[in-house]
Structure 1
């Protein structure tokens, strides 16, 4: 598996992310889905990585700079047919290292608070994330869990 920066121009990654946003909007109540669409991911304050095995897209993740010291983890996703293979863990470890290398001191995230997102919350907790108050432009939302950790 290789994890590389991606410019979000390929048809496969575009379709993968469109499916990601559609799935999250389908399982999350209106107004509580905070997934970035393609335009959001193409913002200059976002860096995006894709994980591949040969030509097969396995997953993705992004970092969105909030301040010079604080970055947000965004768009973590593993291909549905490749879950439970450690891909998300490898992506998360890679993104944590990238955030450290870029000089960030803190990384935070927002994810759902209900059962669909339990595996994601468990992954983040295993990697040192703890619950926190809403950060950045987020407001308190019972459908959201906010997590953070120092780098």
Structure 2
């Protein structure tokens, strides 16, 4: 497996992210969908990675800088055919290491509360994230859960 910085210019990642958006639309009501489209992921405060197994794109994830001390995990996705192979764990560990190198104090995230998102919540719990209150710009939402990983200073 190879984790690569990605400039979001290729057709493969555009299609991969479109599948991500379609999954979010199918499982979350519009007012609770927080997945960024490809243009949103190109923002200067976001670092985006893709994961390849050989030549096959199998996962992606992004880290958004909230402020100089906090980051947010965005757009984590592992292709259905690659789930259960440890790819999500490898990507989460990579983002945590980047966050530590940036001297972040915490990583936060929002994910869905529905059954579809249970594997994602379990992945984050496995890596030390805990449930927390909504953080800006999010509000309390029955379709969302919020998590945080406090990092060593």
Normalised to the residue count of structure 2, the TM-score between the two structures is 0.96
2:37 corresponding residue in structure 1? 37
Q: Aligned-pair distance for 1:136?
A: 1.6
CA distance in 2, matches of 1:115, 1:74: 19
CA distance in 1, matches of 2:117, 2:4: 25
2:114 corresponding residue in structure 1? 114
The alignment of Structure 1 onto Structure 2 pairs a total of residues equal to 151
Q: Deviation digits for residues 32-65 of structure 1, max 9, x if unmatched?
A: 0100111110000000001012211010100001
Two-structure CA RMSD over aligned residues (Å): 0.7
CA distance in 2, matches of 1:34, 1:25: 10
Structure 1: segments with no counterpart, 5+ residues? none
2:63 corresponding residue in structure 1? 63
Is residue 9 from structure 1 mapped to residue 9 from structure 2 by the alignment? Answer: yes
**Residues 64 and 73 in structure 1, CA contact (< 8 A), matched pair in contact too:** yes
* Aligned partner of residue 149 in structure 1, secondary structure: strand
Structure 2: segments with no counterpart, 5+ residues? none
Query: Which portions of structure 1, spanning 4 or more consecutive aligned residues, are displaced by more than 2 angstroms?
Result: none
CA distance in 2, matches of 1:60, 1:30: 22
Give runs of aligned pairs for residues 1-150 of structure 1, distance below 5 A. Answer: 1-150=1-150
Normalised to the residue count of structure 1, the TM-score between the two structures is 0.98
**Residues 66 and 136 in structure 1, CA contact (< 8 A), matched pair in contact too:** no
